[in-house]
Structures are given as C-alpha cells and as structure tokens.
C-alpha cells in the first residue's frame, strides 16, 4: 500500500462504500490455485505452470514464492518436471505433447471451460461449423479453438462481425461462447446470429459461466447508486474488464485497478457513494486492502449488496484428490 499519499480523512466528507457480492474468486479459480499448491507439496519445487494460472499478478507472485515457475510454452519445461495447465484451458495438442515427453502434467482448466471444449468436439463430430463468440488472442479462445481441426471454428467478436460471415443456409452451424464475456453483449451477438442463421444450433445452457454472470448482476445492482465504481482485476482479465464495461454502460464511471496503491485520491472528489467489486481472479485480501486505503482518505460506511449466493465447488484432478 502507498503510504506517501496524503491522509484526507479529517477534512473530507464521509463516503458510502457499496461492496458487490458475489465478487472475487470463483470455484474454478479456487480449484486452479489449489492444484498448483498441492502439486508443489506433492512433487516439490519447482512446479512449472503453462501460462498464468489465473490472470492476477498478486496470485501469480504468491505462487512463485512457493515454488511455481510460470512459462508460456511446453518446451520451456525441463524433462521430468511436473507441469500444470492454466485455468483458461489449452489446445488439445499441449497435453498430447506433454504425454509424448513423459511429463507429469495436471490440468487446472476450469470445468466450465472444459465443458465448452467437449461441446466443440461434439458439434464438429455432428458435421457443424462452429461460430465461436469470444475475444481474439485470449487464452481461453486459443484453447477452445485448439480442441478441433483447423478451420472448424470461426471467431465472432462483435455484432458487426456477424454481417461479414459468408455461410449459407445450407451450411450446418452451431455457436458457442467464451465463458467470461459480457452477458448483454453476447445476447446481442447471439440474436444477430440467430436472425441471420435461424437453423444454427446452440448449447442447451448458457456458456457464460455462473461467476461471470453473477458478478455482472451484482455490479448492475450497485452501479446506478454510485458516482464511481472500482473494479479490482488485471488488465488481461476478461471478466474484470467486462465489469468495468457493465458499469459504464449504465452511465457510472469505472476504473480497473490491480492494487490499492493505484487509487488516485482525486478520483474521490465529489464522490459520496463509491462502488467496489473484484473480478473472479482477485482474492479478497485485495478487496480489504482497497477498503483500508479508502478509509485512509475518507470516513467510510461499508455496505455489502448481495445479489446471489455461490456454493459451487469443483473436484480436484484424481492425482491430487487425496
């Protein structure tokens, strides 16, 4: 925390702090972090992790301190070393290559992402081309597109992209989505796709995960009462960026921060009600850090606004289940 900023508590008006719930870690993130921690205990350090296990620098640095080594490609893993695949999922070729090298590997892919992977395989097996709604370059998108043969998926990022598609009514089509998208934006894209391709099939249930949906609904519940919303999350965290967008769509200015020391006291000028939430990769300790920092700047009245209860728990891989 940055203690160099001036303490304005004595001279500034009180501030009402609305804290969204649910916020922060989801079951998939909890599971992924536990997989890395248990792997370090079982195998000893170092344990290699392909890509950031989750998109949060505080979490990644904490795991590094315990013995995790983060790499981007499998060829950076020494022979005989254990490797964990991140919560975002990996192309099918990655575990195949790890097995061919004789590496001990653990898959920390969120089970809800794995569900989309299986759906992609089934749609291609059924002879359908997949229209995949997601953000180009995001590791989850790369992982999902890597589950099926090249050319079997077309990425759709915006409603405008739908107008550029060249498929005919005779082309068997299906759609799937990244799990961390804006619920509202995705609904608009799906509607545009269904209008253009009425024969397109889709998943029985929404691919956007429960945690993403819940956190967006929680932001909607507080945003209209706030003059500013702070979202704790990383700039490469899709679900955190969507929380910023949800607030701003409702007319509430929003700022993405990673730590409390990023807060500029001038942001609070004229703010009587401040909103606070955290993306699914941000731990609660960072929420409390931000609350403490606000308390140094203003007299704070905290209120938690709860819109859903989350009780989801995902099983660990069988290698670590004991």
Domain boundary assignment for the chain: 15-25+210-306, 27-107, 111-196
* Residue 199 pLDDT > 90: yes
Kindly state the percentage of the chain with pLDDT values over 70. 95
Query: For residue 67, is it left (φ>0), alpha (ψ between -120 and 50) or beta?
Result: left
pLDDT score recorded for residue 204? 77
Q: Which one-letter DSSP state was computed for residue 167?
A: -
pLDDT, tens digit (0-9, with 9 covering 90-100), for 116-140: 999 999 999 999 999 999 999 999 9
| Active-site residue, from 52, 73, 140, 245 | 140
Rounded to whole angstroms, the Cα distance separating 34 from 187 reads 33
pLDDT, tens digit (0-9, with 9 covering 90-100), for 26-85: 999 999 999 999 999 999 999 999 999 999 999 999 999 999 999 999 999 999 999 999
* Residue 6 pLDDT > 50: no
Beta bridge partners of 155: 132
Angle, CA 209 vertex, CA 208 and CA 214 arms, to 5°? 105
Rounded to whole angstroms, the Cα distance separating 29 from 289 reads 20
What's the CATH number for 27-107? Answer: 3.40.50.11270
* Residue 3 pLDDT > 70: no
Strands laid side by side in the 68-71 sheet: 68-71, 47-50, 83-85, 105-107
* Residue 9 pLDDT > 70: no
**Cα distances (Å, whole numbers) of residue 308 to 26, 215, 219, 221:** 13, 9, 12, 11
- Domain covering 111-196: architecture: 3-Layer(aba) Sandwich (3.40)
pLDDT score recorded for residue 10? 39
140 is catalytic: yes
Q: Which one-letter DSSP state was computed for residue 201?
A: B
Can you say how many angstroms the Cα of residue 208 is from the centroid of all Cα atoms in its chain? 10
* Residue 110 pLDDT > 60: yes
CATH fold for domain 15-25+210-306: Cobalt-precorrin-4 Transmethylase; domain 1 (3.40.1010)
The residue whose two tokens read 């909103």 is 275
Domain 15-25+210-306 matches domain 27-107 at the CATH topology level: no
Instruction: Report residue 303: phi and psi, to 5°.
Output: -135, 130
* Residue 2 pLDDT > 60: no
Q: Is the peptide bond before 22 cis (omega within 30 degrees of 0)?
A: yes
């Amino acid at each position: 925390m940055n203690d160099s900023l001036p303490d304005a508590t004595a001279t500034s008006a009180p501030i009402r702090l609305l804290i969204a719930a649910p916020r922060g870690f989801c079951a998939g993130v909890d599971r992924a972090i536990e997989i890395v921690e248990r792997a370090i205990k079982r195998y000893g350090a170092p344990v290699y992790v392909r890509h950031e296990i989750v998109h949060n620098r505080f979490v990644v640095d904490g795991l590094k301190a315990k013995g995790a080594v983060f790499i981007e490609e499998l060829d950076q893993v020494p022979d005989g070393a254990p490797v964990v695949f991140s919560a975002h999922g990996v192309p099918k070729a990655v575990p195949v290559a790890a097995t061919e090298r004789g590496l001990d590997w653990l898959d920390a892919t969120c089970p809800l992402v794995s569900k989309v992977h299986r759906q992609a395989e089934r749609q291609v097996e059924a002879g359908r081309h997949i229209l995949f709604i997601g953000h180009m370059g995001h590791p989850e998108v790369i992982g999902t597109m890597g589950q099926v043969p090249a050319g079997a998926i077309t990425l759709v990022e915006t409603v405008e992209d739908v107008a550029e598609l060249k498929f005919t009514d005779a082309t068997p089509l299906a759609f799937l989505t990244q799990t961390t998208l804006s619920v509202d934006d995705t609904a608009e894209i799906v509607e545009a796709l269904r209008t253009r391709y009425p024969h397109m099939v889709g998943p029985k249930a929404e691919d956007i995960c429960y945690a993403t949906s819940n956190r967006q609904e929680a932001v909607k519940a507080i945003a209209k009462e706030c003059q500013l919303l702070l979202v704790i999350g990383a700039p490469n965290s899709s679900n955190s960026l969507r929380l910023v967008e949800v607030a701003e769509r409702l007319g509430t200015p929003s700022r993405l921060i990673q730590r409390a020391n990023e807060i500029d006291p001038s942001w609070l000028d004229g703010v009587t009600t401040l909103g606070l939430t955290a993306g699914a990769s941000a731990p609660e300790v960072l929420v409390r850090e931000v609350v403490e920092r606000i308390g140094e700047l203003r007299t704070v009245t905290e209120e938690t606004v709860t819109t859903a209860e989350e009780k989801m728990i995902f099983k660990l891989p069988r290698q670590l289940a004991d």
